[in-house]
Structures are given as C-alpha cells and as structure tokens.
Amino acid sequence: MSQNGHQHTLVALVQDRPGVLTRVASMFRRRGYNIASLAVGKSEQLGLSRMTVVVNGDEDTVSQVTKQLDKLIEVIHVSNISNEETVVRELALIKVSSATANRGEIIQIVNLFRANIVDVGSQSMVIEITGEEDKIQALYNLLEPFGILEMLRTGRIAMVRGQSDGRVSDSIGIDLYGAGNGHGEIRAV
Amino acid sequence: MEPTGPLTGAEIVCESLLKEGVDVLFGLPGGAVLPLYGALAKYPQLRHILVRHEQGASMAADGYARATGKVGVCVATSGPGATNLVTGIAGAMMDSVPMVAITGQVPRPAIGRDAFQETDVTGITLPITKHSYLVMDVADVAPAIKEAFHIARTGRPGPVLVDIPRDVLAADKTEFIWPEQVDLPGYNPPSFAHPALVSQAAELINQAEKPVIITGHGVLTSQASPELLEFAEKTQIPVVSTLLGISSFPTGHILDLGMAGMHGMAHAILAIDQADLLISLGMRFDDRVTGSLKDFAPNAKIVHVDIDPSELGKNKKADAAVAGDLKCVLQQLIPQVTPNVHIDWLRHIESLKGEHPPIQIRETEELLPQHVLRELSEATKGDSIIVTGVGQHQMWAAQFCAFQEPNTLITSGGHGSMGFEVPAAIGAKLGRPEKTVWSVAGDGGFQMTMCDLATAVENNIDVKFAILNNGSLGMVYQLQDLFFDKDYFATVYTGNPDFVKLAEAYGITGIRVNEQSQVADAIQQAMEVPGPVIIDFVVKEIDNVYPMIPSGQSAKQMLEESTPKRIDY
Ligand SMILES: Cc1ncc(C[n+]2csc(CCOP(=O)(O)OP(=O)(O)O)c2C)c(N)n1
Ligand SMILES: [Mg+2]
C-alpha cells in the first residue's frame, strides 16, 4: 500500500524495556510531530517489540521523525514502509445499540463485512472487525444509524509483503550513513 | 586493586567509576544517596568535590568534561538534589558534553507513593539526556554505569543519568562483575563516512570559487583540530567558527576569520553571505548562528558533516550531507581535495576586513569590558582556559580573546546558562591543573552561583575570577535599548555586593579596578597570587555588543555602530 496523502507508516524494532514507549512519545511531543496512531506489541524475537507508527507530515518531517526515532538508544531499527507493498490491519470493537427488531439487519451488515459478533446483550451487540482503516470506517458509517455506544480501535499495524524473497520490514532501510542526502530522502537498501 | 568478595550496590558504583577511569566527581549528599557516600568515603582514589549547590556539581562536571574531553561526573540525592542538577544537565545536552549524573532515589518499595523527596528524575530529564537509567536491581548497577559512560562519551557526546534507589545502593553484598562489553544493539555511532558521500563533498569543494568553512563544537569533541588545520591549509579555505567552534582553529592564523553569528565579526558574516560553498563541520545551524535560515549563506551550496544524522537536513538542507565522525571524515576528505589558492576570494575577504575593521574599542577615558578582555588576551597569550558566563561579557570574550589550543574557551552556548562561569571554571581547573583558568564573569551570572566560591577556596582550586561588573544584566539591557523603546525594566542591579569584600570574606584576594590604566597590573597580580582571586572590574558606561544581527534577521540587517550610555547603579 502506498502512502495515504501525508500519512507515513514507520515500523520500529525496539528493545522491550520499561520506558521505551515514554521515550518515543516524549520525542514526538517535544519536537511537535503529529502521530496519527501508534501500536506496539511483542515481536518474533525475545526481548524485542515492534511498533507501527503512523505520522502526518511532509517528506522532510518524516525524514526527521525517522532519524530522531533511530537516535533513541533502545530503538534498534526504523523502516519507513510507506512506499512498500504492505499488509495493513487494524482491529476495532464497536458496541452498537440493538433491539430484537433490528438485530437481523445488523447481522446482515456484519456478515457483509466478514466481521464478527462477539457479544450480544438485550440492548446492544459488540462487533469485532479487522481490516484496513477504510473498511472499519465503512462499517462504522453503516452502523451509525443504529446508535453507536462505544468504539475501541487498536491503531494500524503494518508489515511488508514477503514477495518472492520473504523480505521483512526491518530490511527496508533508512540509510542514515549511506545514500541519504539530508534532503529528506529515505532510500531502501 | 581488584575488589575481594561481594560488594554493596554503592561499592559496585565506586568500583565501576574506577573502571571507567574517573578521578574526580562533584556532588552533595542527602538521604537517598547516603549509602553511596558511605562507600565513597572508602575510595580516596575517587576525589569527591563537595559543592554548595547541585547546579554547581553538574556545571563543574561540564567544565571538567569540556576541558579534558573526559566524562564529567556529578552526584546528587533524590528530589531537590536531583532537580538542582537539571540546568547543568540541559546545558550538557545542548552542547554535546559527555557527562554522567548519578542520583539517589527513594527505596524501591516507596517509588510511586510520593515518598519524601521522591521526584521522577528520569522523567524530568528525559528530553535533556542522551539516555537514562533507573536501576531497579543491584545486578544491573555495573552494566548501567558501563553503558552510561559508553553512551556519554561516544558518538555525539551527551549527558546520561543513572538513578539508583537507596535500597539498591545499600543492597546486600553481591559479586562485582564488570561486563566485558556493552550490549546496545540500537546504538551504533558512525566513524568513517560512506565513500560516495565523501567524494560528492570533495567534488563540491574542488569546484568552489568562494568557499568558507564553518566549525562547530563537533570539531572539538571529535578532536579533529589537526585534521581541520591540514584540510584548511591544503585547500586554502578560510575558517569561520561558531561560538562553540572557537579554539578548534588557532586565532590569528592567516585563514582564521573569527566568530560568525549574532555577534560575529562583520567580515566573517559577509564572507558567509557571499560564499558559493559553505563547508559546515560539526555544527548544527543553530539560530544564533544563522539568523533567518533562508537568508543564511543564500548563494552557497552546503557540505554538512556531522556525527548525528538527525542534524543533516534538520535546519538547513545540504547538497552533500555526510554522516560520520569529523576526524575520520576529514581524513577521508584530505586526499581527495585539490590544493587551491582562491586568491581573488581571499583578497576580497581581506578587503572586507579593511572595510569592516574587526572589533575596535571606541575612544573613551572610561573602563570598558573590552579593555579588560583585550588585556586578558595579551596577558594569557591564548594559553589559558577562559570560561565565561552568558551575556555581553561572553560575546566580548569570544570576540577579543585569542585561542591557540583546543578546548580553551568554555562557554554555555546552546543553553546559554548564566551562572556557568563559576562552577564550570572550577571543573576546568580540576581537569587541567597545569593551565591558568580565568572565569570571565558577569555580575549577574556570578551572583547566581557564587556560593561555589567556597568550593574553590575549600579545595584550593586556583581560578581567577574577572567580574565584568556593569551593575546590570547587560545583554538584556542591550535588547531593551534596541528593541524595547529603551525601557530598562528589571535589568539594573542597584544592590550588588562589594565583590572585594566578598573575596575577603572567603579569605581570598580581591582587587578592584576602576581605570583602564589599572587593568594590566591587576591581571598580572592575580596570576602571581596563588589560589583563587577575584577582580572586580567596575564598568560605568554600558556599550552594546556589535556587530549584531537582530534575532531572525540576516547579514543585510547587521548593525555595526555603537552608542554608549551612562549607567547609574
Ligand atoms: C539562567 C539564565 N537566566 C536568564 C538568562 C537571560 N539572560 C541572558 S544574558 C543576561 C544578562 C547577563 O548579565 P550578566 O551576567 O551581568 O552579564 P552581562 O550581559 O552584563 O555581561 C540574561 C538575564 C540567561 N541566559 N540565563
Ligand atoms: Mg552584568
């Protein structure tokens, strides 16, 4: 997936230590960068987590964000995967107001989106949906007339597609010492 | 001597400091850090300098580090002790000074309960440290200290804070294991740069007709002065320095143009304005250097070399941006650049010097700070270490003093902290005892940290304090003069102490100077008296510092003339 307007997707491999998230967040705040979302969890390597950060801004800004992130001691690698073939997902839980009368209609919509109903109460249902942000937004729009009581979203996680060589996000370089020319260009190596 | 048997956390700190080659640390004890002091008492090899205020400890560690290139160490207790360190730590961060700050913390079970003197010091210092540790296990003490020193001194240097809870310091005896190496997979500072980028830079340098080099603190931190000299002489490119680049290139060298920036030399500023290539070495295009970024070096292509890739393209885009250690990169560049004479360009710069004579002192009977600095420079012949505060006296010191050896001007640049002049001079003298150390002080800044005069006296630290006593916060007075309708509000001190009596109160020599004719003798006398001396240079007429490029403006708006004012205090 290519970049969405001025949104850029960065994937960072970080040491799983107390305070890492604070350092990342503090750096963003102090330098005035605008994070659209940040999702973090364990990676396949023991003691390392992977973060997906979605940043708004122009090329120069995202170049600075990338370098500033990389500068943090506990950040091992940062990849800007905005221009790569990627799989992008987000998970949302949506609690929608539903009475017996309209339950069928909601179920139909949910099926159409291949979403799941994970809880049913007398007044409401909880729907779980996974997908790209657009898909979640589309489902939200259709459910809105029924009355949305609550929604939670995880934020974007993204991974480069394996293609023929089984590549991983970390192989998408920001080339700090080689080809980067300080013009905000970040090249894959 | 290797320790025998298991040690407490505090003893492990001491052993680790010895492993790192620490010989002096600056600090002041309190409850949370007391176990460490208990151990320090048994380690006379670690000379502890007891300060009067923890800001003095962090700034003395800073001065020590800048003077020696080694890591400066300061120690404080939790809560107020730790927060008092903050200004000095922030200064070290801004100016890339290697420092390790060790703070005591409340015991682990008390953390998060707003215990007595609990402050989240790793939180407070998060944006002003290169890295920090909260050590929650005694087994982590030695690795944390080893990593802290490694991070502080390598790459782009900076301060690292190690916060250790009292019960970890006092922890039961543990075996001291000094790690063989650091385990920092996310930290790989560069040395040599990518050859393609070096060639790209060399090509721009070889093509330039009107090139200028501008140096920053990076030249000093990477100990690249010999390479800079060789590079400049081979290419015959004139060298301008930022405030923090001063002393990386010998004053008075035929290619030396002096300081650029807000109060830089007119010819240096104009040379940058007219240059077709600016070779920026270990500097970061700070606004005090550039003024308006878009009007800075408007005709020049930019070669930018820095060890911190995030500096490349941060403020000014470069045509060749080279990430690498300056010493290494210059070694790579030197064989690739062709000898060049740029004779027309050098002649042109000479004519600029003629049209805009560098730093002159106006005719007057009165004693001016400029007289003092000119005499000081004469007397010390560029061989002393000059430590300054922040303000007019700082700018005049940078303009008037000659420097022949790296790290002989020590000044708070990026953070601009008044009060730096007293403790940083103490730290510098401890680091370089063979050097004469002059603290060029403002009456304002001096009074912020003069409590640590006692530290100098107690430890017989031979610093000569030259107070340029204009009875005012002169630099701010200047801003009011130029930009706030001469409304001199809150910038005149009417109740300054008698600094000569103050010297006497501390049992040291105090000298008062009111006349131009007394300056040279007073400086000579101060250098002959062993131990700390205060000279109170009483300045009654306040000048503005010129040249001046008003904040955010460019070479075109440079102000050069001077209008003296009488100041009553
Ligand atoms: C801690 C701190 N507070 C305020 C300032 C703002 N400031 C910059 S220069 C200056 C005046 C300094 O006065 P003094 O030390 O007497 O030096 P002078 O300019 O008179 O030579 C002030 C207040 C500062 N740089 N640092
Ligand atoms: Mg003053």
CATH number assigned to the domain comprising residue B502: 3.40.50.970
B315, pLDDT greater than 50? yes
- A163 — pLDDT class (breaks 50, 70, 90): confident
Q: What residues 57-96 of chain A have any CB closer than 8 A to a CB of chain B?
A: 60, 63-64, 67-68, 70-77
pLDDT at B562: 60
Quote the number of domains for chain B: 3
**Domain co-membership, B241 together with B122:** no
Structural domains of chain A, with CATH: 6-84 (3.30.70.260), 87-157 (3.30.70.1150)
Q: B384: which 2 tokens?
A: 């002393």
pLDDT digits (tens, 9 = 90+) for B295-311: 999 999 999 999 999 99
How far apart are the CA of B442 and the centre of ligand 2, in A? 5
Q: Which residues contact A13 (CB under 8 A, 6 or more apart)?
A: A43, A45, A48, A49, A50, A75, A76, A77, A78, A170
Share of residues in chain B with pLDDT > 70 (%): 98
Q: Of the candidates A22, A67, A181, which has its C-beta nearest B126's C-beta? A: A22
Structure-token pair, residue B286: 């700070």
pLDDT at A171: 82
By mean pLDDT, which of A7-16, A142-151, B349-358, B388-397 is the weakest?
A: B349-358
Q: What is the pLDDT of residue A6?
A: 82
For residue B144, give the 3-state DSSP assignment: helix
pLDDT digits (tens, 9 = 90+) for A5-41: 489 999 999 999 989 999 999 999 999 998 999 999 9
Q: What is the pLDDT of residue A164?
A: 86
- Say which of B194, B313, B324 has its CB closest to residue A184: B313
Q: Would B98 be classed as within a structural domain? A: yes
Instruction: Name which of B467, B482, B451, B487 is nearest B538 in CA terms.
Output: B467
pLDDT above 90 as % of chain A: 77
Statement to judge: residues B500 and B389 lie in one domain: yes
Question: Could you report the per-residue pLDDT of B548-566, keeping only the tens digit for each?
Answer: 999 999 998 999 876 556 6
Q: Is the pLDDT of residue B400 over 70?
A: yes
Owner of token pair 């131009």: B516
Give B384 Cα–ligand 1 centroid separation in angstroms: 24
Give the per-residue pLDDT at B362: 87
Mean residue pLDDT across chain A: 89
B186, part of any domain: no
Minimum CA–CA partner of A15 in chain B: B186
Domain of residue B61, residue span: 9-169
The CA B454 to ligand 2 mean position distance, Å, reads 22
- Pair B386, B337 in one domain: no
Which of B306, B307, B314 has the most A C-beta neighbours within 10 Å, making it the best mutation to test the interface with A?
B314
* Claim to verify: residue B66 and residue B41 sit in the same structural domain: yes
pLDDT digits (tens, 9 = 90+) for B37-56: 999 999 999 999 999 999 99
Could you tell me the CATH number of the domain that includes residue B312? 3.40.50.1220
What average pLDDT does the segment B310-322 reach? 95
Tell me which residue has its CA closest to atom 4 in ligand 1: B418
pLDDT at B560: 83
- What does the pLDDT read at residue A181? 36
pLDDT at B398 over 70: yes
- pLDDT tier for residue A183 given thresholds of 50, 70 and 90: very low
Within this chain, do residues B234 and B113 fall inside the same structural domain, yes or no? no
What does A29-68 look like in DSSP terms, one character per residue?
Answer: HHTT-EEEEEEEEE-SSTTEEEEEEEEES-HHHHHHHHHH
Within a domain: B187: no
Pocket of ligand 1 (CB under 6 A): B 389-393, 416-419, 442-445, 468, 470, 472-476
Q: What is the mean pLDDT of chain B?
A: 96
pLDDT one-digit tens code per residue, A112-154:
999 999 999 999 999 999 999 999 999 999 999 999 999 999 9
Find chain A residues with C-beta within 8 A of B326's C-beta. Answer: none
In-domain check, residue B516:
yes
Same-domain status, B408 and B482 = yes
Best to test chain B binding among A31, A67, A175 (most B CBs inside 10 Å): A67
Tell me whether residues A180 and B323 touch, CB distance under 8 A. yes
Task: Looking at the structure, tell me whether residues B351 and B375 fall in a common domain.
Answer: no
Q: In this structure, are residues B385 and B467 in contact, taking their beta carbons and an 8 Å threshold?
A: no
- B568: buried, middle or exposed (CB in 10 Å: 19+, 13-18, 0-12)? exposed
Q: What is the pLDDT of residue B378?
A: 95
Q: Looking at the structure, tell me whether residues B286 and B425 fall in a common domain.
A: no
Residues 6+ apart with CB under 8 A from B49: B24, B25, B26, B27, B57, B60, B426, B430, B455, B459
Which atom in ligand 1 lies closest to the alpha carbon of residue B393? 21
pTM, entire model: 0.95
Query: What pLDDT is attached to residue B565?
Result: 63
Higher pLDDT, B3 or A104: A104
Question: Residues B562-566: contacts with CB within 8 Å, 24+ apart?
Answer: B562/B362, B564/B362, B564/B364, B565/B481, B565/B541, B566/B540, B566/B541, B566/B542
Q: Is the pLDDT of residue A188 over 60?
A: no
DSSP-based three-state secondary structure for A183: coil
* Alpha carbons within 13 A on the beta-carbon side of B5: 3
Q: Which of B80-89, B437-446, B556-565 has the lowest mean pLDDT?
A: B556-565
Residue of chain A with shortest Cα separation from B320 = A181
Q: Is the pLDDT assigned to residue A1 strictly greater than 60? A: no
Q: pLDDT at position A182, please?
A: 37
Provide the pLDDT for residue A178: 54
CA–centroid distance, B447 to ligand 1, in Å, is 11
For residue A73, give the nearest of B187, B196, B321 by CB distance: B187
More confident residue, B261 or A171: B261
